[in-house]
Amino acid sequence: MKGYKLTESELKFTELIWQNEPIGSGDLVKLCKQELDWKKSTTYTVLKKLGEKGFFQNENSVVYALISKGDYYAGQSVRFVEDTYGGSLPKFLTAFMGGKKISNRQAEELKKLIDEHKEN
């Protein structure tokens, strides 16, 4: 799964599972028909593909996520900073800030976060 970026349709499918897990595979087929206008075969094909990538497990016809929504998006954020800013967090923050000011509270929160994650 590491480094895998979901396509738009895979992400919609994954969001459905995250919102409804654990979910029976039959119920997932119905939900995908309703929300994505997918056929049963499409649902099972995508489920199998993402299962092989380590996203989901379909055990006894019940689908569970193997990676949380938060973990997926955290990985994508790291990938974005690496791809766009050469992995430089200061460059990313500079671009993100765009000359805007932050409150004292936000500055203190950032300082605390930096202190917690500093290499010794």
Total domains in the chain come to 1
**78 within some domain:** no
Other beta carbons within 10 angstroms of residue 36's beta carbon come to 15
**3 within some domain:** no
Over residues 3-52, the pLDDT tens digits come to 789 999 999 999 999 999 999 999 999 999 999 999 999 999 999 999 99
Cα–Cα distance, 82 to 61 (Å, whole number):
38
Cut 0.75: pTM above it: yes
- Choice among 11-25, 49-63, 92-106 with the minimum mean pLDDT: 92-106
Q: Report helix, strand or coil for 64.
A: strand
**33 within some domain:** yes
Domain assignment of residue 52, given as a range: 8-69
